[in-house]
Amino acid sequence: MKFGVIGTGAIGGYYGGRLAQAGEDVHFLVHRDYNEMKESLRVDSINGSFIIEHPNVYISSNDMPKVDVVLVALKTINNMLLPTLLSPIIDNDTIVILLQNGICVEEDLEKMRPNLQLVAGLGFICSTKIGPAHISHQDFGALTLANYSCRDDWKIEHIADIFRNANIPTDIVEYNFGRWRKAIWNLTFNGLTVVLQRDTQYLVSNNETLELCRTIMNEVISIAHAIGVNELKESHINDNINATKSMKPYAPSMKVDYDNHRPMEVYYLYTKPLMVAELHGVNCPKLKWLENELRKISM
């Protein structure tokens, strides 16, 4: 299969790099570090560091070939660009995997570009872009695929096998379960690390902030239950807390964006979930507080 990567940052660079390292045909759309990326993509990884010499890189998707699978790792604040970026590289059979945080991202993209074959790509990974064409992968790395509108489930199984062969542990779950399971961690730690100016390790090691984390996670699960995702339980909260305790102190993507004076993904990480909560009559005071504080900071 031929892969395209739109957004060669911490996530797209890692997963796309792993595929290229495994010998897959991968084509990267890059922006600021095009010249550096033409020479090499470097990934420093706990699972084995590697360098891709002279990868297939492009500064415009108009120059890219048609691909079988697109990995979209743009920040969601740029999703209005996706219909234009995708058009030159997809056909009716192309599968678009959104490696993006938040809720309703597939639904909104489908409204902008109907008839796409969309799959949610949900990475549990600690990865940061630390320089031009240079990724630091610090922990975890598993990927979950969740079908939103792909017509053929067998294709998703085949893609999952390709990821596994590229040293990316991959599973497949139901769409809403996958999105909301990931939201338990994302909606808690992305915003809190910014608002409280603390890393993940502090948040789960201090009794007061740990209780706040648990409260937010419970609110996320309450929204999920309201839309019928009843599989999420207290055990998922404990799993997220324990996983975070085991990882190295980490600054999630929203904290990295804040520290680098870039726009933050408040809309899909907080506003959209709260819109779902309001629609179903679920009260989420801590999530509302967090969204409000993030909007103040973003002004």
- What are 170's two structure tokens? 């991959």
52-107 pLDDT, tens digit each? 999 999 999 999 999 999 999 999 999 999 999 999 999 999 999 999 999 999 99
**Does the pLDDT value for residue 298 go beyond 90?**
no
Mean predicted lDDT score pLDDT of the chain: 97
Q: How much is the pLDDT for 57?
A: 98
**Which among 75, 129, 155, 182 is annotated as catalytic?**
182
Whole-angstrom CA distances from 162 to 1, 38, 156, 167, 290 are 9, 25, 10, 9, 38
Q: How much is the pLDDT for 31?
A: 87
Cα–Cα distance, 5 to 13 (Å, whole number): 8
**Does the pLDDT value for residue 299 go beyond 90?**
no
151-183 pLDDT, tens digit each? 999 999 999 999 999 999 999 999 999 999 999
Q: Does the annotation count 272 as an active-site position?
A: no
DSSP assignments along 102-153, one per residue: SSSHHHHHHHHSTT-EEEEEEEEEEEEEEETTEEEEEEEEEEEEEESS-S-H
Residue range 121-134: mean pLDDT, rounded: 96
- Strands 25-29, 170-173: pairing kind: unpaired
Phi/psi of residue 36, each to 5°? -70, -40
**Does the pLDDT value for residue 231 go beyond 90?**
yes
Q: How much is the pLDDT for 277?
A: 98
